[in-house]
Structure 1
Amino acid sequence: MTPNILISRLNKWQINLFRSCLLISAFMLISCSSDSGSTGGSGTKSTTPTNLVVSALVIGTSVQNPNGDGSGMVNFNISATNATSYKILLGNGEVKEVTNGVFTYTYTASGTNTYVVYVSAYNGANFISTSASISLYVAPTALWSDEFNVAGTPNSNYWSYDTGAGGWGNNEAQYYTNRPENISVSNGTLKINTIKESYLGSNYTSARIITKGKFSFKYGTVEIKAKMPIGGGTWPALWMLGSNIDTAPWPACGEIDMMEHLGNQLNKIYGTLHYPGHYGGTGDSSNVTITNATTEFHIYKLDWRADFVKFYVDNQLFKTFVNSASLPFNQNFFLIINSAIGGNFGGTIDPNFVSSTFEIDYVRVYN
């Protein structure tokens, strides 16, 4: 074999080898580009999940109970091809992150509610998402109540007294006492008596009781059945303050006035929220006019949740406030019942006023 023939054969062999390498490289390049996944810093390739399926079964559904048995329990079964984890926004402000999509969750907001649940299935940084709507009923569960069925003084396990004059900055005319003349329980109701009398430098007396340090709660429904006092200048209120008031002074602690009535604006019921930027005369307030506020009992209700606060009188909605994580209405609050007279909001006192009674049948707090 001559040297020229050897060189020619070597060149053909090298050319074929080069062509083979090109084909292999092209195949690898095509394979990589057809994969929808991404490569992390570790060099490990991840694939975007597919076939995301969300099943949400409300426990106890039937023809008679289409929205469940009232327990609020939902069995979730979430799956997706190539998913390694799931993130679920449950529609009530709560977020759940799991590696196993089979779990049970219990909703707690009472009543019949519809939640839009958003689900994302992840594999590394890759994900797909979908949503599902759930309607379910949660039976109210009593967290706390006072029916005022035991005659005498208010239950000391539930209530303590705020005493003093001036109304803590509201320029009110009364002195709050803990005397039985001003506050007592009889015939199944709590009675707060506002009296025109000279007492420790004030011309009127009344009472204010609070559950601070004894009972507080975060989110729920409050119902109070009450009959308003009569007389120009009277200012009864059913309200709540943030339990952190000692470390976050008002208005940073937040205030929810579920009911205020003014004797000078007969039958007009106010619902108001106070918080930084909206307090005092600039509180976020609405009102509704009812009938017979001073002669009949009415039910004043507050529905307080992570995403809203709603105010009702006799189940008539009259105010909806949009709540959010940036506001102080996402912590424990305690209850307050009082009857003031005069002051910044109560206004001019009728010179013929002698006494009047704010009467409360019950206070009930549900989940």
Structure 2
Amino acid sequence: MINLINRAGIFTLILLFAFQSCSSNSDSGDDTPVITAPTNLSVQVDVVGKTAENPNGDGSGKVKLTISATNATSYKVLINNELKELTDGNLTYEFTASGTATYPIIVSAYNGLKYVSKSTSVNVFVARKLIWSDEFNVDGAPDTSKWGYNTGTGDGWGNNELEYYTTRSENVKIEGGLLKITAIKEDYMGSKYTSTRMLTKGKFSFKYGRAEVRAKLPVGGGTWPAFWLLGDNIDTVGWPACGEIDILESVGNNPDVIHSSLHSPGRSGNTPDTKTTVATNSATEFHIYAAEWSAENIKFYVDDNLFYTYKNSSTTPFNEKFFVILNFAMGGNFGGAVDPNFTRATYEVDYVRVYN
């Protein structure tokens, strides 16, 4: 994945630096000490593990900056859209977006409120690393250090869904190396169906990377399994301002058709940001459903076959941390009519993995 710096953001920070300097140059009197602006600014950028065979580093994403300037008392470094303030001229920084990219760097050396700046850039390779996963290898209930639950009806969860979400073993369990979420037709707490919705909110979230699930989908009209991401800031900004990335949605009334969609302000509900593809035998075979997410794009795959690329930008909600959700809904606006002969169905998940 490529992770380029937003040039408008850099320009804004340069203006901020200049404003800070200009706004403080007025002398209050002849006794004001004369402050000399730094000179001879030198910036050395070393990529960790750089060799002739690996000119962009060893894949760790680490770079070391050595900065010096005459008369400098402090430094500021703008790197990867992050502003670092230093009291000396040494900084070790780790890029995390996988792939090879060119990153611009702006360094400013300060003496009081006077400064001098210099721009440079660095090419860095970051190897893909697993940052979170659940392999579902221990029988019993899901790991509570990784997963929590939404329970109840949620007034249809905004979609007129028919299920009551529970944490019961009848609806969710790990068995034989698989997570099994089972929807059951039964009268329960005023609802006609039960199922489970599990999420990593408050336990794990991430910004940019690859999220994937290996899963076998349930069978039956009205079934609606999903694997998706939701903005960590939902409790403060609400939905859809927090953003939603639907990596996998499928409905039993239209089997083997896989939907990937994005929801954001003005593009919620029947969002235009959506595409479909076909996963043959999705209810009898496991497939890998994935999204690769960066500041520039969100790319959706089934079995590593790219079928949808969404153009991301600084104006979307998709530049903050998101958490992971697995759920199995019944009916509703998207799931549609439930087969009157439906009794139960199971959504089987081999693993969930998140990479940098």
Q: TM over 0.5, yes or no?
A: yes
Match of 1:182 in 2: 171
**1:74 and 1:168, CA in 2 relative to 1: closer, same or farther beyond 3 A?**
same
Cross-structure match for 2:214: 225
* Deviations 1:203-240, CA, capped at 9 Å, x for gaps: 32222112233333444432221111122322111122
Matched to 1:95, the amino acid is L
Summarize deviations over 1:51-70 as a string: whole Å, max 9, x none: x7754322112355443222
Q: Secondary structure of 1:246's partner?
A: helix
Distance 2:106 2:42 in 1: 9
Counterpart CA distance in 2 for 1:208 and 1:93 is 35
What is the distance in 2 between the residues matched to 1:157 and 1:77?
40
Cα distance change on mapping 1:199 and 1:68 into 2, 3 Å: same
TM-score normalised to structure 2 length: 0.76
Q: Which amino acid aligns with 2:310?
A: T
The question of 1:319 aligning with 2:306 is answered no
- Measured against aligned partners, the alpha-carbon deviations of 1:227-280 in whole angstroms (never above 9, x if no partner) come to 111223221111222333333332233322222122233333222222322212
Aligned partners of 2:75 and 2:108 also within 8 Å: yes
Q: What's 1:163 paired with?
A: 151
* AA of the residue aligned to 2:101: T
- The structure-2 alpha-carbon separation of the partners of 1:126 and 1:94, relative to structure 1 and needing over 3 Å to count, comes to closer
Residues 60-112 of structure 1 show CA distances to partners (whole Å, capped at 9, x for unaligned) of 1235544322221112345689988766443x322345576553221122x22
Q: How does 1:198-347 map to 2 (within 5 A)?
A: 198-282=187-271, 284-317=273-306, 318-324=308-314, 326-347=315-336
- The 3 A distance-change label for structure 1 pair 197 and 219 is same
Partner of residue 61, structure 1:
50
* Per-residue deviation, residues 316-348 of structure 1 (Å, max 9, x unmatched): 332234142x54444443321111121111123
Letter in 2 for 1:281: N
Unaligned runs of 5+ in 2: 1-21
Name the SS of the counterpart of 2:45 in structure 1.
strand
Tell me which amino acid in the other structure corresponds to 1:211.
Answer: T
Report whether the alignment pairs 1:148 with 2:136.
yes
Q: Aligned to 1:168, what secondary structure does the other structure show?
A: helix
1:175–1:206: 8 Å Cα contact kept in structure 2? yes
Question: Given the superposition, is the C-alpha separation of residues 289 and 48 from structure 1 closer, same or farther in structure 2, using an over 3 Å criterion?
Answer: farther
Task: Please give the TM-score of this superposition, normalised by the length of structure 1.
Answer: 0.74
Matched, 1:113 2:100: yes
Over 3 Å counting, the alpha-carbon distance change for 1:161 and 1:137 in structure 2 is closer
Percent identity, aligned pairs only, is 50
- CA gap of 1:321–1:286, structure 2 versus 1, over 3 A, is farther
Distance 1:242 1:249 in 2: 9
Find the aligned partners of 1:305 and 1:332 in 2 and give their Cα distance. 12
Contact 1:49 1:121 in 2 (8 A): no
- Secondary structure, counterpart of 2:338 in structure 1: coil
1:156-202, CA deviations, whole angstroms, 9 ceiling, x for partnerless residues? 33223322235312111222222322221101000111223333333
C-alpha offsets along residues 112-131 of structure 1, whole Å, 9 cap, x if unaligned?
22023143656877866544
CA distance in 2, matches of 1:266, 1:314: 17
Contact 1:163 1:178 in 2 (8 A): yes
Deviation by residue 1:291-316 (Cα, 9 ceiling, x = unmatched): 33222212222333455443332233
Change (3 A) 1:300 1:54: farther
Alignment CA distance shift 1:129-1:268 (3 Å): farther
Partner-residue secondary structure (3-state), 1:320: strand
Whether the 8 Å CA contact 1:148–1:189 is kept in 2: the answer is yes
For residue 230 of structure 1, what is the amino acid of its counterpart? V
Would you say the 8 A contact 2:95–2:126 is kept in 1? no
Q: Alignment partner of 1:363: what SS?
A: strand
Contact 2:177 2:350 in 1 (8 A): yes
TM-fit CA distance, 1:360: 0.5
Kindly indicate whether the alpha-carbon contact (under 8 Å) linking 1:107 and 1:138 is maintained by their aligned counterparts in 2.
no
